[in-house]
């Protein structure tokens, strides 16, 4: 299974998972079965709130799942519509969240836990 983890700094498996999908500077993409890993720059980092293009952000890479601390409803819907499942990360590294994912301890993200912006009283569940 190919997983994408948004991160602020590329430290490989030791990278802390970033709290926001759309504004993450990088993504760590890895194969959970064989451990192959690559780092991608976020190709859609600069966008208006609510205008995230998650597949463009991932440089067109096809992934099965994203593990993230927070994500907007639009990005979640676009990923889900493309067959990508989104899981809610815990505070910690890619390695720690991968272990929790493999053990079935990360919940799938749902729309009542999405980010609603950070200005004007918006809320986030992370």
- DSSP assignments along 39-88, one per residue: EEE-TT-S--TT---HHHHTTT---SEEEES--BHHHHHHHHHTT-EEEE
Tell me if residue 115 falls in helix, strand or coil.
Answer: strand
Residue 124 lies in a domain: no
- Decide if 72 contacts 125 (C-beta within 8 A): no
pLDDT at 125 over 60: no
Is residue 36 assigned to a domain?
yes
Residue 40 lies in a domain: yes
Whole-model pTM? 0.83
The number of distinct structural domains making up the chain is 1
Nearest Cα neighbor of 86 from 31, 1, 29, 4 is 4
Could you list the residue range(s) of the whole structural domain that residue 109 is in?
Answer: 2-113
**pLDDT at residue 120 in the model:** 43
Residue 39 confidence (pLDDT): 92
């Amino acid at each position: 299974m190919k997983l994408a983890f948004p991160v602020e700094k590329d430290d490989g498996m030791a990278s802390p998972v970033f709290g926001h999908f759309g504004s993450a500077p990088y993504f760590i993409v890895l194969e959970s079965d064989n451990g192959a890993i690559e780092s991608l720059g976020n190709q859609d980092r600069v966008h208006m709130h609510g205008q995230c293009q998650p597949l463009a952000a991932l440089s067109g890479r096809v992934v099965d799942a994203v593990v993230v601390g927070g994500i907007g409803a639009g990005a979640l819907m676009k990923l889900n519509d493309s067959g990508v499942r989104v899981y809610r990360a815990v505070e910690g590294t890619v390695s720690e969240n991968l272990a929790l994912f493999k053990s079935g301890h990360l919940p799938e993200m749902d729309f009542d836990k999405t980010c609603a912006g950070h200005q004007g009283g918006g809320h986030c569940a992370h």
